[in-house]
Structure 1
Amino acid sequence: MMARRYDPERRTRIIDAAIRIVELKGIAALSHRSVAAEAGVPLGSTTYHFAGLDDLLVAALEQVSGGQGGAMKDWEEALAGSGSGGGKGGTGGRSLADALTRLLEEYAHGDRGRIHLEYELYLAALRRPALQPVAAAWLDTMVDVIGRHTEQEATARVLVALIDGLLLQLLLTDRPFDRAAVRAALARVTGEG
């Protein structure tokens, strides 16, 4: 009998493989078999670590939304220097609308595959109840991060909804990023005119 090889990184490799598959081919291409092949592990390893695909998708969404150096940490750091014209946070000279516009512009000119991946996982929560708590936590975290720079939580929630809409439109239309239009929309919500 052959001894089982200890592989403490296997679970992480499986999650990373699932993320790559979803990013490149979409959730429909995700299966225990495709993940095992992508991760270079035996099929039984995927079912050992994740009983079902929903469990694997939850782990993937958690990693994408809040993993080490996750997007929200980047947003928090970028917004740290913004003020919102009477908002709660920020000490720099940039307005909140300017800071958010710059972040969205970086997203738009960066790896669109990453945005596609985030929204593919995020929207999967519509049909997969196991993902809903993770997606809701992601939204709440984003509202919290942006809300530190607004007077009211409601303003932060509207900004998050607007940002989601803008990013989805960018993905769906493949139009170029219109900095002036995005900044004007964000400024209307923040009251920065």
Structure 2
Amino acid sequence: MAERRIDPERRERILAVTRELIAANGVDGVTHRKIAAAADVPLGAMTYYFSGRDELLFEVFTRFADEVAARFAARMSAATNYLEARDAVVSIITHDVFPDRERADARAERARSNDLVITHELYALAARRPEYREITHAWMVKSRAALEQHFDPDTARMLDALIEGLTIHRALDTEDVADLAVEAVLRITN
């Protein structure tokens, strides 16, 4: 009888590999077979940790959204006054969410580029499947709560939408949006 391999890190490795594969291939390019091979896990062991692909994807996207929301909240919590809070919103748009083409080292840029792909994969799933909207809704609630430390709820909602929109533009457009971000935040918060 073959000795059973004890691997306490297996579940976390499966989650990490799934996230990498989503960034590289999109959700449609992620299968149990590909995950098992990349994570060095027997294919049959996949269902021991996750009942199916949806459970696995849901956990990966939930963790991702929680990580991004935590970074966002940390940036907003560091602001000690209204002016710093406005600067923090601009920094979220121009530095935190997606790659800074000029200043990021290759590893940081790759990680943030992966975040861009994962974010858009989540948006696409949430647009098609209501259960994934639970993740995006929880993410928005956390983002707005972080903003509401410094801004009223309506302003926080506008800023949250601005952050989403301008970070996407920043990632996909060839023009720099830094000046636009500063101007937009000033207009919304005055």
Structure 2 CA distance for aligned equivalents of residues 112 and 125 of structure 1: 20
Equivalent residue, structure 2, for 1:14: 14
Separation of aligned partners in 2, 1:128 and 1:81: 35
> C-alpha offsets along residues 124-162 of structure 1, whole Å, 9 cap, x if unaligned?
222233322122111111111111110x21221121111
AA in 2 matched with 1:149: H
Q: Which moved more, 1:71-80 or 1:132-141?
A: 71-80
Equivalent runs, 1:136-155 vs 2, <5 Å: 136-150=137-151, 152-155=152-155
Match of 2:77 in 1: 80
Structure with bigger RCO (C-alpha 8 Å, 6+ apart) = 2
One-letter amino acid matched to 1:41: V
- CA shift at 1:166, angstroms? 1.4
The one-letter amino acid of 1:184's match is E
Whole-angstrom CA distance in 2 between matches of 1:4 and 1:64: 32
Query: C-alpha displacement at 1:80, in angstroms?
Result: 2.6
- Measured after TM superposition, the shift of residue 16 of structure 1 is 0.6
Counterpart code for 1:59: E
Give CA deviations for 1:12-53 in whole Å, capped at 9, x if unaligned: 111111100111121111111111111111111222222222
Q: Percent identity?
A: 29
**Runs of at least 5 residues in structure 1 that lack an aligned partner in the other structure:** 83-89
Q: 1 CA distance for matches of 2:70 and 2:179? A: 26
Match of 1:86 in 2: none
Structure with a larger share of its residues in helix = 2
Residue-pair matches, total: 178
CA distance in 2, matches of 1:4, 1:100: 51
Does the alignment pair 1:98 with 2:87? yes
CA deviation vs aligned residue, 1:87-106 (integer Å, no higher than 9, x gap): xxx33x74433211122211
State the match for 1:87 in structure 2.
none
CA distance in 1, matches of 2:61, 2:70: 15
- The residue number in structure 2 matching 1:177 is 176
Instruction: Describe the superposition over 1:63-99 as per-residue Cα deviations: whole angstroms up to 9, x where unpaired.
Output: 2122xxx2222222222343xxxxxxx33x7443321
Which blocks of at least 5 consecutive residues in structure 2 are unaligned?
A: 101-108
C-alpha contact (below 8 Å) 1:105/1:177 kept by paired residues: no
1:154-173 pair list within 5 angstroms: 154-173=154-173
Normalised by the length of structure 1, the TM-score is: 0.82
Conserved? CA contact 1:57–1:121, under 8 Å: no
TM-score normalised by length of structure 2: 0.83
**Do structure 1's residue 49 and structure 2's residue 46 form an aligned pair?**
no
Q: Secondary structure at the match of 2:70?
A: helix
Moved beyond 3 Å, runs of 4+: none
CA contact (8 A) 1:22 1:29 kept: yes
The answer on whether the counterparts of 2:147 and 2:156 sit within 8 Å (CA) in structure 1 is yes
Cα distance in 2 for residues equivalent to 1:44 and 1:177: 48
Q: Distance in 1 between matches of 2:35 and 2:131?
A: 19
Cα gap change, 1:133 to 1:13, in 2 (>3 Å) = same
CA displacement at 1:184 relative to structure 2: 0.8
CA contact (8 A) 2:36 2:43 kept: yes
Distance in 2 separating the partners of 1:132 and 1:178 = 28
Q: Report deviation, 1:116.
A: 2.2
